[in-house]
Structure 1
Amino acid sequence: MADGFPLPSRRVPWALAVLALVGGLLLNLLAPRPYMGLPLLAAAGLVAGAMLSFRAAAVVAGTACAVTLALDLHHGRPADATYVDLAVVGLIGALALVVNRLLARQVGELARARGVAEAVQLAVLPDPPTAVGPLAVAASYTAAQTEARIGGDLYAVQDTPFGPRLLIGDVRGKGLQAIAAVAVAIGAFRQEAEYAPTLPELARRLDEALAREAARAGGPTSDEDFTTALLAEVSADGAAVRLLNRGHPAPYLVHGGEVVRLDARVPRLPLGMGLGPAGQDPGEADTVALPPGASLLLVTDGVTEARNAGGTFYDPCRSSRLRGAPYAAPGPLVADLVADVGRWTGDGHQDDMAILAVTRRAV
């Protein structure tokens, strides 16, 4: 348990345990009668049991018993009083060791649970390929809570007969239902991206898949149970990108030291709104040029809604770190964006943050 503490954290409980031992010793020797330092000696074992390894806690508890015995002999206390003092300090030390074992077991179970969650994330949200067609690819997923390993953000990249297709999205539901929706969205994208002839048709099929999953789940729904999504399709030569935005934060074109936001010409509703056929019109895709060396940057609202101490939202277009930087590959772009958002928020992410970047490789 405590063996996993970084060194500065391990010094603190050791200092507290030693301070309790020394304080108990000095109080027994110097404090006016009838006050004794027995509570501090017993507290040393408790501190060690809760914060140190089992072996270290046993050493501290044994030392506390030895100090108690030595002090009672020094003061000439009666044998029955000495037995009582040893019983009190020893019993508390033994309980501290039991607590130590229980805490170690819980830490182990938590580590196993986190390992399972990490495996689930890799299964549901695998790392994208580093290259697809004319594009180099990089991605990043940052959880709002360090204990978390999986959330509602998603991304996927796939080479198809229609050119490389990209998906980034954000499931707005909560709990296991949101994770299930992530799995359904990515699974449907991987299946339908191979066959849907256009991005609007692909969006319609994703909408239907999410609607079927919601109906199959049969749980209560709310106005917040939907999925924002951005679909992109790059031409075979990489010169053009078609974009279809379903209620998601706009992507960015990074090229020549500039960061340009690519807003949709017509705003569209997210997927899974449950509006029936009238609400399933995906609209037409927008087309933008992707020059050689240019990068398309797709993000979730963990980036665009990140706030600094003054409550101001982060804007990649105004980032001095991103602007002016010649990005020949998507990896440094993603790394710089993650670092810049961390600087903006003071490393206090308010939401999960998914980033997907592709760069048209220069011929």
Structure 2
Amino acid sequence: MAEGRRSGAAGGVDAVGRAVFGSREGELTSGGRATGRFVRLLPALLIIGGLVFDALSPPNFSAVPLFVAAPLIAAPFFSRSRTVRTGIASVVSVTVMRLSDGTSTQVVPVIEMVTVLTAAALALVINGVVRRGNEQLASARVIAETAMRAVLPTPAERIGGLQVAARYEAAQADEFVGGDLYAVADTPYGVRVVVGDVRGKGLDAVEAVAVIIGAFREAAEQERSLEGVAQRLERALAREETRRYGLDAMEGFITAVLAEIPPGAATVRLVNRGHPEPILLHADGALEVLAPSVPALPLGMDLGVWPDRADAWEMPPGATLLAFTDGLSEARDANGVFYDPATRLRGRIFPGPEELLSALTDDVRLHTGGHATDDMALIAVGRPAEGQPVRRTTVKIVGRGDQDAAH
């Protein structure tokens, strides 16, 4: 009988190899590479282990729990066809074992086969439920990504004679909804920029982002001063507070920096409302951290009257203004050390804003080991050097899907 069980095990191993290992269809939907490979092999390993255990153990020991577990483990990770093949492999293995030892008509072996058949059928039900859930999740992600792209469209490569590049980097690879924002507008008063960060995440944060960007686009065209634009944003948040009966529904407050680069003037003007200080990179590798002369509270913090004050800096040809959210400046490495963009960028020269952002995002990934904890929005506006030709580039939007926009 032991010889019969060993021959049955050998035949069962052969069947498992063809049924489970024979195709790579139905890759895992989650997990890292090492974990993915292990889970991909686990159902087959359970079946093979069950065959070996049954061949080497006394007759009163049963490996049926291993055959039951194999299709149940395959169900949430594999395609329907692969789940079916795993269930068939389990049923065939038990059938071959019991036929080989001549016990297929006894009560206990029959119960074992019925148990494995039931587990295989249940695995198909679980697989269907999981696949429907994954489809709904994918649909929700598409909706979220579409909403973010509508709220934060990629700006043109050149606006008002300036070179422009922008990125939205999600902390999680599949996360598209966040509270970081940017916008650029070519106005009669020059190119105006806003970069901001809403406290919080989710759809409420996206709605707050939409309010700020909508107010900015209108105010940037109409207000003669950058201070006036900031006050319009403040009033827009106040109206939203009245409509919602409390600003907490709008995530509370928004840090923001507003920039203006007037036409025909080699200057940049800033209004900073509690936001990380932008950086001005010069063509020779030198840089300036543009700290406000008078600190101001974020937008939406109703703690009294705080008149806005714009500061101005020289922005000669070849210089690039870099503005970002705290997802960049508060990115940490494994030792908890914050990322310092000024230190990292000092002395470096970049052909243009797009190359600057590419190098910066790559450097942040190296610093954090790919484990960022907060979204970040970045925008770079460069004044072309004298005689610099217009270049055509491909803009890569990282963290919001692999979409290339060629300009």
Tell me the TM-score range normalised by the shorter chain: over 0.9
Deviations 1:162-210 (A, max 9, x none): 0110000111145433221110000000011001000111111110001
1:2-61 alpha-carbon deviations (Å, 9 max, x no partner): 446598766433421111111111121110231011111111211222322111111111
Q: How does 1:171-210 map to 2 (within 5 A)?
A: 171-210=198-237
Matched, 1:157 2:191: no
Change in Cα spacing, 1:64 to 1:264, as seen in structure 2 (3 Å) is same
Q: Is the 8 A contact 2:148 2:206 kept in 1?
A: no
Q: Please, which runs of 5 or more residues in structure 1 have no aligned partner?
A: none
Letter in 1 for 2:100: H
For 1:269, the equivalent position in structure 2 comes to 297
User: What is the aligned partner in structure 2 of residue 334 from structure 1?
Assistant: 357
- 1:213-228 aligned within 5 A: 213-219=240-246, 221=248, 225-228=252-255
Are 1:301 and 2:329 an aligned pair? no
TM-score (norm 2): 0.83
User: How far off its partner does 1:144 sit?
Assistant: 1.9
Q: Does the alignment pair 1:233 with 2:260? A: yes
Q: What is the TM-score with the length of structure 1 in the denominator? A: 0.93
1:132 to 143, 159, 164: 159
- Structure 1, 292-301 or 20-29: larger mean CA deviation: 20-29
Q: Which amino acid aligns with 1:270?
A: P
1:220-248, CA deviations, whole angstroms, 9 ceiling, x for partnerless residues? 63997111111111010251111111111
Question: Does residue 18 of the first structure (1) align with residue 41 of the second (2)?
Answer: no
- Partner SS for 2:58: coil
Unaligned runs of 5+ in 2: 1-24, 387-407
Structure 2 CA distance, aligned partners of 1:17 and 1:235? 65
Which has the higher mean CA deviation after the structures are superposed, 60-69 or 167-176? 167-176
Amino acid at match of 1:262: L
The two structures, once aligned, show a CA RMSD in angstroms of: 2.0
2:337 — aligned with what? 312
One-letter code aligned to 2:47: L
Q: Which moved more, 1:185-194 or 1:24-33?
A: 24-33
Counterpart-to-counterpart distance in 1, 2:247 and 2:271: 29
Give me the whole-angstrom Cα distance separating, in 1, the residues matched to 2:176 and 2:251. Answer: 22
SS for the counterpart of 1:50 is: coil
Please say if 1:355 is aligned against 2:378: yes
C-alpha distance in 1, partners of 2:210/2:218? Answer: 12
Q: C-alpha deviations, 1:315-347, integer Å up to 9, x for none?
A: 11211xx33322231001011111111111222
Per-residue deviation at 1:78?
Answer: 5.2
Q: 1: distance between equivalents of 2:187 and 2:41?
A: 61
Which one is further off, 74-83 or 224-233? 74-83
AA aligned to 2:365 is G
Matched, 1:257 2:285: yes
SS at match of 2:277: coil
Question: Compared with structure 1, are the counterparts of its residues 303 and 101 closer, same or farther at alpha carbon in structure 2 (3 Å cutoff)?
Answer: same
Residue aligning to 2:98? 72
